[in-house]
Amino acid sequence: MPLLLVEDDRELAHGLSSSLAQSDYVTDVVFDGRSALEACAQTTYDLVVLDLGLPDMDGLEVLRRLRKAGLTAPVLILTARFDLDDRVLGLDAGGDDYLAKPFALPELEARIRALLRRSAPNESQLIFCDIVFEPVSKQASVRGRELALTAAEASVLSLLMRRPRRVVSKSQFLDDIYDHAEEKNSAMIEVFVSRLRRKLADAQSQVHIRALRGLGYRLDERVDE
Protein backbone atom coordinates (compact mmCIF):
# COMPACT_ATOMS: atom_id res chain seq x y z
CA MET A 1 0.00 0.00 0.00
CA PRO A 2 1.54 3.33 -1.04
CA LEU A 3 1.84 5.86 1.78
CA LEU A 4 3.07 9.44 1.76
CA LEU A 5 5.11 10.71 4.72
CA VAL A 6 5.40 14.49 5.02
CA GLU A 7 8.04 15.27 7.64
CA ASP A 8 10.69 18.02 7.61
CA ASP A 9 12.97 16.24 10.10
CA ARG A 10 14.97 14.26 7.56
CA GLU A 11 16.54 11.87 10.05
CA LEU A 12 13.15 11.05 11.56
CA ALA A 13 11.54 10.76 8.14
CA HIS A 14 14.13 8.31 6.81
CA GLY A 15 13.96 6.30 10.02
CA LEU A 16 10.17 6.03 9.84
CA SER A 17 10.29 5.15 6.15
CA SER A 18 12.79 2.35 6.79
CA SER A 19 10.73 0.97 9.66
CA LEU A 20 7.51 1.09 7.65
CA ALA A 21 9.25 -0.70 4.78
CA GLN A 22 9.93 -3.61 7.12
CA SER A 23 6.16 -3.84 7.60
CA ASP A 24 5.69 -3.98 3.81
CA TYR A 25 4.53 -0.38 3.36
CA VAL A 26 5.80 1.46 0.29
CA THR A 27 6.44 4.97 1.60
CA ASP A 28 7.27 8.10 -0.38
CA VAL A 29 8.91 10.81 1.72
CA VAL A 30 8.75 14.58 1.20
CA PHE A 31 10.03 17.31 3.48
CA ASP A 32 7.79 20.33 2.85
CA GLY A 33 4.21 21.28 2.01
CA ARG A 34 4.66 22.11 -1.66
CA SER A 35 6.31 18.76 -2.31
CA ALA A 36 3.39 17.06 -0.55
CA LEU A 37 0.90 18.82 -2.82
CA GLU A 38 2.88 17.84 -5.90
CA ALA A 39 3.25 14.22 -4.77
CA CYS A 40 -0.50 13.82 -4.17
CA ALA A 41 -1.24 15.37 -7.56
CA GLN A 42 0.92 12.73 -9.25
CA THR A 43 0.25 9.61 -7.12
CA THR A 44 -2.83 8.05 -5.52
CA TYR A 45 -1.92 7.24 -1.92
CA ASP A 46 -3.82 4.99 0.47
CA LEU A 47 -2.81 7.14 3.45
CA VAL A 48 -0.92 10.35 4.22
CA VAL A 49 1.13 10.88 7.40
CA LEU A 50 1.42 14.64 7.79
CA ASP A 51 3.58 16.63 10.21
CA LEU A 52 2.14 20.07 10.98
CA GLY A 53 5.49 21.80 11.56
CA LEU A 54 6.64 22.23 7.95
CA PRO A 55 9.18 24.84 6.81
CA ASP A 56 7.30 26.43 3.91
CA MET A 57 3.65 26.45 5.05
CA ASP A 58 1.55 25.38 8.00
CA GLY A 59 0.57 21.72 7.90
CA LEU A 60 -3.11 22.60 8.34
CA GLU A 61 -2.95 24.72 5.19
CA VAL A 62 -1.37 21.79 3.35
CA LEU A 63 -4.19 19.57 4.58
CA ARG A 64 -6.88 22.02 3.46
CA ARG A 65 -5.32 22.27 0.01
CA LEU A 66 -5.07 18.49 -0.30
CA ARG A 67 -8.73 18.05 0.58
CA LYS A 68 -9.74 20.85 -1.79
CA ALA A 69 -7.75 19.12 -4.54
CA GLY A 70 -9.79 15.96 -3.97
CA LEU A 71 -7.71 13.85 -1.61
CA THR A 72 -9.99 11.31 0.08
CA ALA A 73 -7.33 9.06 1.64
CA PRO A 74 -7.12 9.12 5.44
CA VAL A 75 -4.66 11.61 6.91
CA LEU A 76 -2.79 10.89 10.14
CA ILE A 77 -1.51 14.11 11.70
CA LEU A 78 1.81 14.17 13.55
CA THR A 79 2.18 17.17 15.83
CA ALA A 80 3.51 18.61 19.04
CA ARG A 81 0.28 20.63 19.25
CA PHE A 82 -2.12 18.50 21.23
CA ASP A 83 -4.61 20.78 22.95
CA LEU A 84 -8.26 20.05 22.28
CA ASP A 85 -8.60 23.21 20.18
CA ASP A 86 -5.66 22.13 18.02
CA ARG A 87 -7.20 18.68 17.52
CA VAL A 88 -10.51 20.22 16.49
CA LEU A 89 -8.76 22.53 14.01
CA GLY A 90 -6.94 19.58 12.51
CA LEU A 91 -10.07 17.46 12.24
CA ASP A 92 -12.03 20.36 10.78
CA ALA A 93 -9.33 20.82 8.15
CA GLY A 94 -9.81 17.21 7.07
CA GLY A 95 -7.62 15.13 9.36
CA ASP A 96 -8.70 11.65 10.47
CA ASP A 97 -6.45 10.93 13.45
CA TYR A 98 -3.80 12.59 15.61
CA LEU A 99 -0.54 11.32 17.04
CA ALA A 100 1.47 13.50 19.43
CA LYS A 101 5.25 13.72 19.28
CA PRO A 102 7.21 11.98 20.64
CA PHE A 103 5.53 8.70 19.79
CA ALA A 104 6.41 5.01 19.71
CA LEU A 105 6.73 3.35 16.31
CA PRO A 106 4.35 0.47 17.22
CA GLU A 107 1.62 3.02 17.99
CA LEU A 108 2.18 4.79 14.66
CA GLU A 109 1.87 1.49 12.81
CA ALA A 110 -1.23 0.55 14.80
CA ARG A 111 -2.92 3.81 13.86
CA ILE A 112 -1.96 3.35 10.21
CA ARG A 113 -3.44 -0.16 10.24
CA ALA A 114 -6.64 1.13 11.84
CA LEU A 115 -7.09 3.88 9.24
CA LEU A 116 -6.36 1.51 6.36
CA ARG A 117 -8.67 -1.12 7.81
CA ARG A 118 -11.55 1.33 7.80
CA SER A 119 -10.88 1.94 4.11
CA ALA A 120 -11.02 -1.77 3.24
CA PRO A 121 -14.05 -3.27 1.50
CA ASN A 122 -16.32 -5.19 3.84
CA GLU A 123 -19.97 -4.80 2.83
CA SER A 124 -22.37 -4.11 -0.03
CA GLN A 125 -24.02 -0.89 -1.13
CA LEU A 126 -26.07 0.97 1.50
CA ILE A 127 -29.14 3.00 0.54
CA PHE A 128 -31.33 5.25 2.67
CA CYS A 129 -33.80 7.70 1.17
CA ASP A 130 -31.80 9.71 -1.43
CA ILE A 131 -28.33 8.66 -0.21
CA VAL A 132 -26.32 5.83 -1.76
CA PHE A 133 -23.13 4.79 0.05
CA GLU A 134 -20.49 2.48 -1.44
CA PRO A 135 -18.45 0.90 1.40
CA VAL A 136 -15.82 -0.43 -1.00
CA SER A 137 -14.88 3.00 -2.38
CA LYS A 138 -16.10 4.99 0.65
CA GLN A 139 -18.08 7.17 -1.74
CA ALA A 140 -21.54 8.57 -1.16
CA SER A 141 -23.95 10.31 -3.47
CA VAL A 142 -27.24 12.19 -3.18
CA ARG A 143 -29.50 11.61 -6.18
CA GLY A 144 -26.40 10.83 -8.25
CA ARG A 145 -24.40 13.82 -7.00
CA GLU A 146 -21.20 12.62 -5.35
CA LEU A 147 -20.31 13.88 -1.89
CA ALA A 148 -16.63 14.59 -1.27
CA LEU A 149 -16.09 12.86 2.08
CA THR A 150 -12.96 12.40 4.13
CA ALA A 151 -12.25 8.95 5.54
CA ALA A 152 -13.59 9.92 8.97
CA GLU A 153 -16.76 11.46 7.53
CA ALA A 154 -17.31 8.33 5.46
CA SER A 155 -16.96 6.19 8.58
CA VAL A 156 -19.57 8.28 10.41
CA LEU A 157 -21.99 8.10 7.47
CA SER A 158 -21.38 4.37 7.07
CA LEU A 159 -22.32 3.69 10.69
CA LEU A 160 -25.45 5.85 10.43
CA MET A 161 -26.44 4.24 7.11
CA ARG A 162 -26.16 0.78 8.65
CA ARG A 163 -28.60 1.86 11.39
CA PRO A 164 -31.07 4.29 9.80
CA ARG A 165 -33.70 5.76 12.15
CA ARG A 166 -31.80 4.22 15.08
CA VAL A 167 -29.71 6.11 17.61
CA VAL A 168 -25.94 5.70 17.38
CA SER A 169 -24.15 6.79 20.54
CA LYS A 170 -20.95 8.82 20.57
CA SER A 171 -19.18 5.89 22.18
CA GLN A 172 -20.21 3.67 19.25
CA PHE A 173 -18.76 6.20 16.79
CA LEU A 174 -15.54 6.39 18.78
CA ASP A 175 -15.23 2.60 18.96
CA ASP A 176 -15.86 2.35 15.21
CA ILE A 177 -13.48 5.14 14.19
CA TYR A 178 -10.67 4.99 16.76
CA ASP A 179 -8.85 1.99 18.15
CA HIS A 180 -6.94 3.91 20.82
CA ALA A 181 -8.87 4.63 23.99
CA GLU A 182 -6.51 7.31 25.23
CA GLU A 183 -7.28 9.54 22.23
CA LYS A 184 -11.07 9.14 22.15
CA ASN A 185 -12.93 12.40 22.62
CA SER A 186 -16.57 13.12 21.83
CA ALA A 187 -15.59 16.53 20.43
CA MET A 188 -14.05 14.70 17.48
CA ILE A 189 -17.37 13.09 16.61
CA GLU A 190 -19.14 16.45 16.87
CA VAL A 191 -16.71 17.87 14.30
CA PHE A 192 -17.23 14.96 11.89
CA VAL A 193 -21.03 15.12 12.22
CA SER A 194 -21.04 18.90 11.74
CA ARG A 195 -19.00 18.61 8.54
CA LEU A 196 -21.21 15.78 7.27
CA ARG A 197 -24.37 17.77 7.99
CA ARG A 198 -23.06 20.70 5.95
CA LYS A 199 -22.28 18.47 2.99
CA LEU A 200 -25.72 16.83 3.08
CA ALA A 201 -27.36 20.25 3.28
CA ASP A 202 -25.26 21.56 0.38
CA ALA A 203 -26.38 18.57 -1.68
CA GLN A 204 -30.03 19.33 -0.70
CA SER A 205 -30.46 15.83 0.69
CA GLN A 206 -33.81 14.82 2.16
CA VAL A 207 -31.86 13.14 4.95
CA HIS A 208 -30.51 14.85 8.04
CA ILE A 209 -28.60 13.86 11.14
CA ARG A 210 -30.62 14.46 14.28
CA ALA A 211 -28.86 15.00 17.60
CA LEU A 212 -30.51 13.50 20.66
CA ARG A 213 -29.10 15.07 23.81
CA GLY A 214 -27.33 12.54 26.00
CA LEU A 215 -28.00 9.70 23.55
CA GLY A 216 -26.20 10.30 20.25
CA TYR A 217 -27.20 10.81 16.63
CA ARG A 218 -29.82 9.37 14.30
CA LEU A 219 -30.21 9.41 10.53
CA ASP A 220 -33.76 10.51 9.63
CA GLU A 221 -35.72 11.63 6.60
CA ARG A 222 -36.29 15.36 6.66
CA VAL A 223 -39.91 16.35 7.26
CA ASP A 224 -40.92 19.75 5.92
CA GLU A 225 -42.96 21.70 8.39
State whether 59 and 114 are in the same domain.
yes
pLDDT category at 114 given cuts 50, 70, 90 is confident
Distance CA 201, CA 85 (A): 25
As to burial, measured by CB atoms within 10 angstroms (0-12 exposed, 13-18 middle, 19+ buried), residue 34 is middle
State whether 51 and 103 are in the same domain.
yes
pLDDT (0 to 100) of residue 225: 46
Predicted TM-score of the model (pTM):
0.59
State whether 17 and 113 are in the same domain.
yes
Domain's final residue, options 59, 88, 119: 119
Residues with Cβ within 8 Å of 132's Cβ and at least 6 positions away in sequence, in order, are: 125, 126, 140, 141
State whether 160 and 93 are in the same domain.
no
H/E element, 141: strand 139-142
Distance CA 147, CA 154 (A): 10
Please name which of 144, 141, 151, 160 lies closest in space to residue 200, comparing C-alpha atoms: 141
State whether 163 and 198 are in the same domain.
yes
State whether 17 and 114 are in the same domain.
yes
What domain count does the chain have?
2
Domain's final residue, options 119, 151, 176: 119
Domain's final residue, options 71, 86, 119: 119
How do residues 117-147 score in pLDDT, each as one tens digit?
Answer: 776 655 578 999 999 998 877 889 999 899 9
State whether 36 and 113 are in the same domain.
yes
Where is average pLDDT lowest: 65-74, 176-185, 213-222? 176-185
Instruction: Look up the domain containing 13 and give its range.
Output: 2-119
State whether 41 and 97 are in the same domain.
yes
Distance CA 33, CA 53 (A): 10
